[in-house]
Structure 1
Amino acid sequence: MVWRKGLGMALVIGFGCVAHANETATGPAELPPIGAFMDEAEFGYVSISPDGKHLAQFMRVDGIGRFQVLTYPGREPVINFNLGERQQVGNMLWLSDTRVLTSPRRYLIGFDFLVPTGELYTVDIETGSVRSLGIGAPLHLLPDDPDHILILRYSAKAFAEAHRLNINSGHTRRLTRSAMRTGNLLADINGGLTMSDGVNGDFEYEVRHRKDGERWRLVHSSPYAGASWAPVHFGPTPDTWYTFDDRSAATAGLGLYNSEDNTHELIIRHPRVDVSGLLADFNGHAWAVRFDHHYPAVQYLDKNHPLAAQHAAISKMFPEDEVQFLNYTRDHRLTVAFISGDRRPGDYVLVNLETRKIEPLAQRRPQLTREMLAPMNPVEIRVRDGDTIYAYVTSPEAAERPGPLVVMVHGGPHGIRDFWGFNTQVQLLASRGYHVLGVNFRGSGGYGREYLRKGFGEWGALMQDDVTDATRWAVESGIADAERICIFGGSYGAYSALMGVAREPDLYRCAIGAAGVYDLSIMESSGDVRALRGGITYIRQILRGAQDKPERSPVNLADRIKARVLLMHGGEDRRAPMEHARRMRAALEEAGNPAEWLYDIEQGHGAAGNEPRREMYQRVLDFLAESTGARSTDGA
């Protein structure tokens, strides 16, 4: 079986082609502004009603968020709510043909992203009325009971509680709670609450099951990143659960657990990457799984499912992009799909199974055309100890070779990884002529348990060596000009950027750290990770003594740094408190290499809002241009 994205074009009879708006044969007329990449996208989500007669959507007009419901196919607005600049609809879930359940997201102090508020509202499209249903998260729609759904709420003692919610009156009845604090409850195919999982006080993962009226019974436990299985979705019968399972191999595959006889069956596994998603139809029945090796790939669990045939046909139409099915009518006749790729920010389309037509609905970033964007290519790199790591190289077609390179280090770092596809930061840098290298160093997620575990205790050591080896590979491959390389990251990525210029003072011309951790010795006494259940145990497991080694913290290595440094931090950062940036800045000052400084007292773990992001990336582009001799930008 070949696990890579096809490059050939195939035609499907009856399906029309959806072109990206504003594409021309002559390419872009001018440099796209920073805001085209870094502003909030113009469209956030589109959803079709179960009967196919309405479309719900969230959009932004001149920076103002709006929730709309339109008739279909006429597309006449019947609902149009103004949500302001700092709020958007996070989730849309049709409870009936005429009622939508929504939940907002807002910018909150300390966060650089829109945070789910947990508030639930129903919108009646016939009357226009909006009803608040309190706080919670949908758990099961109870399709045989049109007046109720199941929701999850967290109690004051941090237990997940399942409630039966009357969607007409807002009244709730508590049913049960999770087996442990900060745990989770899963509903079976009929809405039965028999499965719970979560992390205990020693940061060990546990799965517990019970039958009606019985106590919770431990059916599985494992240490963090140990061989494990986790329930992710109800199976085809009340006693079965789909699981992600890596106990018998290096990667996590899709399994099926039978709680009646406590047995497991492996359904599908990729030899090099973990399963990354499970796709379900209107009724919640799984029909496909997703893997992300070099490119995203979908494997069908039931090739005879109507969605499988539909998805296969459309994917052949867009061989250079990814097709994701988002939501459907109850008969699966109409499907809202999202088509995106490295050079396509994302188009919402409506797929009609009967007419075999694709109808464009909306574009996330219509200012950006394919010609303005650069291809992202996966690479495998052999590093110094003989292992193979994974990376992505994004290079503008007209870029110098060798030319200026920016090494982008992802945050996290454990369990997080870079993926193929449209990336706003990467494409902004590429639009200014930079090659961009994203490295999935060991310790990143998605490549199996051992790949993840190899990063434990290796902050500033093996994990940093992987980034260094990837950078040198880019030089040896003729991509990067050895005299014009910078390294840039946020959170852990900022730590890696500063460690990079400290450990390899002649490799990089500049380093940019955003919302960074620079002193591992204060990880257990500052930041919000330590306050999580098992947080201190987690920190000790991933650092494994690195916090006690001065040479693992860039704040202690400032005298080795020759490169120019830009530090950016927010005064409300709770994940990486301001003390990290203050110490790093003071150390560089004392070493005679004062850092450039961008500080915003109102920002948190990154930049929230269009204007702060434009300011931040204007500063980044100017700093990179001064350091590498590449072009900067002409406005936001």
Structure 2
Amino acid sequence: MARQLLLAATMLAGAHAVAADATPVRVPTTEMLAQFAGMTGFRISPDGKHMLAIQSQGDNRSILVWKLADLAAKPTVIGAKNMQIRTVSFLKNDMLQVEMTQPFDLRFDEVTKTFISKLLFVDLEGKNWVEPMASAEIPRTDIAKKAAALANPTVLNRMLKDPDHVVLVNDSGISSNREVYRYNVRSGRSTRIMRLGENDNSVLANSKGEVWAKTRLGSDGQGTFTAIDFRGKDGDWEEHFRSYVKNRDVVDVVSSGAKAGSAIIRSNVGREFAALYEYDIASRKTGPVLFEHKFFEAKGVRSFRLDDGPSEEGFDGYTFDGLHEDDEHWDNPKLESVVRGVAQALGIKEITQELRSVGGPERAEVSALDGVSVRLVHVVAGETPTYLIRVSGKTYPTEHYLLRGQQFQLLAKEFPDVDKRALGTARFVYYKARDGLNIPAYLTVPNPQLCGPGPYAAVVHPHGGPWARDNMGYDTSGWVPMLVSQCRVVLQPQYRGSSGWGRTLWFAGDREWGGKMQDDKDDGAKWLVSEKLADPKRIAMFGFSYGGYAAFAASVRPNGLYKCAIAGAGVSDIDRIWAKFFTNPYFQSGQEPTVRGLSPLSKADKIEIPIMVYHGDRDQVVPLIQSEIFVDKAKAAGKPVEYHVLADYAHGPAWTRKTMADQLNLISTYLATGCGKGGL
């Protein structure tokens, strides 16, 4: 496996010629799309001496560790027996932090089928595993057993200049008693730094192990709020910002600032899109805008220093919620040059991308890479800098590269067996809603070499949330790659109510469940037809979570747009689903008032089109009953509904690759042979 790292090498300054592939396009199987990425999660140690990745073979995942100076040598392989590796990164130069997961049945009053996660530390040889902050006592009561199962600390700061210590916040899993500790990774000893208050939410610690900022939740006469507190000179906490949940104002501390005693603040108060500011803590003064984007939300900063802080020249760059959702703007011209050089070496074209205001006339044309993101994951400075690079796109399965000097190496393709040509072409578009809003959307069109010319069968594929969004990254769920490789055009509308696209689109979805939010999806289907991309008699809707709700809603809407629908883990009764959140005052003030409109359950006995429903038995986000009650009512009325329960499937990735493949096969088979008569 290690020798596969040296699959390709080229001079970055030279042109990267790509010969046309004359072989037949290979359509990926559902089993192929259901696999974990073959190799993923590449990271370089802070001192630049080691590199790691996660290798997957079926359901088994292992950690590989190389010496960066000798990648041709066999790596150290670190496996896991009872739990599955989810993520791994360097905690110290010689130690890893690993997030593990496994199915778990909580037995407390009743059995709750779920998954649990655990944070573990391990050396680079995989010999000494440690669960930080684990109690030495054997749990004997049900409450103690539940606490032990759910307890999972979080690393607040790796303190990279200190070889022995990190800052952790513990989480018992069942109580609000949380404490921040300075933890010795060698001895396992811990020293409490502070005890969080009942209303304290998140905390920030610096590289010296000092907690310097925190967020706090509360309520007053104006409603529930989130406050930001900083430590004063006397050590007491002082409130500096207060934003009310009902206004959906976002004020976050992103990082420490370039000046001593300053912080970088992200805020959308009084703005369409969030921007970044430098804030002087002592004087309580907010400086001018540090970074903003006219069409997207500013998100964070990029720095490759050990303390993640800025250099004397400032931060290396900034991130924003662009087309790829984690786009980068580089102030450091060297890093911008590396990104452009890598794109050129890989033959990735630059295009002119139009951007529009959702609710206004503003437009702009910007230069962008054609459907692909080139991201700098890690930079090791030195006489010969080393760059770890991730390349990904909706029709470009993720690849990882290493650049050292002029040597450019392919480390791994995450899905090497997937033929890119089968994934068609993807682009970012806008279409008009019936009330004039510009609705952003991601459009993926089949390859004519494989599928012939359009119009094609089409799937409108709304995201979950609904306070969420899609991006241009490769879809590791396999949904979009499967649909488009089977010759269906896919539209992912960023309908009103989606977050990350500014206040106008976000607020426009309030109290419009099954109303204007659903109109946006229907208008997207009509746009596909008007663009001669979709056959008007062969359009379906498929979604998961809130997207499943949208599929339920489509099945009871008498508009004749869709031939069938597929609802995965969907909400059918909006009153029942939100009832369990009513005790949360922040949900009550924030999202709950916006959830008004159609409950598809009320019309389940009058569905207009065939529908397939599926749900995981370990889903604790949208309970299984949301699908069961809809299906039972529809079947009792003799309506065409198909129902499947997936074992060991939660609200997202499955425990086994077989379950993932089973899910994809259900969708594929239904669209091929069900969906009414003759498939889609």
TM-score class, shorter? 0.7 to 0.9
Q: Describe how 1:341-490 pairs up with structure 2 within 5 A.
A: 341-352=393-404, 355-398=405-448, 399=451, 400-414=453-467, 416-423=468-475, 424-490=478-544
Q: Distance in 1 between matches of 2:337 and 2:486?
A: 41
Residue 156 of structure 2 corresponds to 139
Alignment of 1:148-159 (within 5 A): 148-154=165-171, 157-158=175-176
- 2:39 paired residue among 39, 43, 66: 43
- The structural deviation recorded for 1:78 is 5.1
Tell me the TM-score normalized by structure 1.
0.87
Query: Match of 2:281, as an amino acid?
Result: S
Q: Is the 8 A contact 1:179 1:208 kept in 2?
A: no
Post-superposition offset of 1:410: 0.5
Cα gap change, 1:631 to 1:312, in 2 (>3 Å): farther
* Count of residues in correspondence between the two structures: 604
Q: Determine if contact 2:25/2:421 at 8 Å carries over to the other structure.
A: no
Provide the C-alpha distance between the structure 1 equivalents of 2:114 and 2:175, rounded to a whole number of angstroms: 25
Of 178, 192, 201, which aligns to 1:183? 201
Q: Which residue of 2 aligns with 1:219?
A: 240
3-state SS in 2 of match to 1:367 = coil
Partner of 1:563: 609
Provide the rounded CA distance (Å) in 1 between the counterparts of 2:462 and 2:620. Answer: 21
Residues 78, 322 of structure 1: alpha-carbon distance in 2 compared, 3 angstrom cutoff: closer
Establish whether residue 274 from structure 1 lines up as the match of residue 297 from structure 2.
Answer: yes
* Residue number among 325, 328, 331 corresponding to 2:376 in the alignment: 325
- Say whether the 8 Å CA contact 1:205–1:223 is kept in structure 2: yes
3-state secondary structure, aligned to 1:557: helix
CA RMSD in angstroms, aligned pairs only: 3.0
Amino acid at match of 1:173: T
Cα distance in 2, alignment partners of residues 78 and 68 from structure 1: 6
Equivalent AA in structure 1 for residue 557 of structure 2: R
**Cα distance change, pair 431–360 in 1 and its aligned pair in 2 (3 A):** same
Specify every segment of 5 or more residues in structure 1 that has no aligned partner in the other structure, as ranges.
1-11
* Structure 1 residues 63 and 19: alpha-carbon distance in aligned structure 2, compared to 1, 3 A threshold: farther
1:439-481, CA deviations, whole angstroms, 9 ceiling, x for partnerless residues?
1001111111232122121111111111111111111111111
% identity of equivalent residues: 23
For the residue of structure 1 that corresponds to 2:69, the secondary structure is coil
Q: Contact 1:474–1:480 at 8 Å: present in 2 too?
A: yes
Q: Is the 8 A contact 2:541 2:565 kept in 1?
A: yes
- Mean CA deviation greater in 534-543 or 319-328: 534-543
Distance 1:553 1:246 in 2: 32
C-alpha spacing 1:44/1:140, structure 2 compared with 1 (3 Å): same
CA deviation map 1:315-334 (0-9, x unaligned): 44434321111223364821
Name the aligned partner's letter for residue 71 of structure 1.
K
How far apart in 2 are the matches of 1:592 and 1:32?
36
Q: Report the alpha carbon displacement of residue 605 of structure 1 after superposing the two structures with TM.
A: 2.2
User: Residues of 2 paired with 1:150 and 1:262: CA distance?
Assistant: 27
Cα distance in 1 between the residues matched to 2:440 and 2:552: 22
Q: Secondary structure at the match of 2:490?
A: strand
CA contact (8 A) 1:411 1:490 kept: yes
| 1:56 partnered with 2:55 | no
Once the two structures are superposed, what CA deviation does each residue of 1:395-431 show, in whole Å capped at 9, x if it has no partner? Answer: 11224422200110100111x1011122231111000
Cα pair 1:43 1:363 within 8 Å, conserved: yes
Residue in 2 aligned with 1:65?
61
Tell me, yes or no, if the aligned pair for 2:15 and 2:344 is still in contact at 8 Å. Answer: no
Deviation of 1:343 (Å): 2.2
Point out the more displaced range, 470-479 or 271-280.
271-280
- The counterpart of 1:192, out of the listed 189, 210, 227, is 210
The answer to whether residue 662 in structure 2 is matched with residue 615 in structure 1 is: yes
Amino acid at match of 2:639: N
The alpha carbon displacement at 1:363 in A equals 1.5
Alignment of 1:585-600 (within 5 A): 585-600=631-646
In the alignment, which of 316, 320, 326 is matched to residue 291 of structure 1? 320
TM-score by length of 2: 0.82
Segment of structure 1 superposing worse, 153-162 or 485-494: 153-162
Deviations 1:490-530 (A, max 9, x none): 1110111111232244111101011111011212334xx55
Q: Distance in 2 between matches of 1:85 and 1:17?
A: 47
1:513 correspondence with 2:567: yes
Output the CA distance in 2 between the equivalents of 1:16 and 1:578.
55
Name which of 298, 313, 316 aligns with 2:341.
Answer: 313
Q: How far has the Cα of 1:33 moved from its partner?
A: 0.8
Of the candidates 101, 104, 108, which is equivalent to residue 99 of structure 2? 104
Q: Name the SS of the counterpart of 2:316 in structure 1.
A: strand
The 3 A distance-change label for structure 1 pair 182 and 43 is: farther
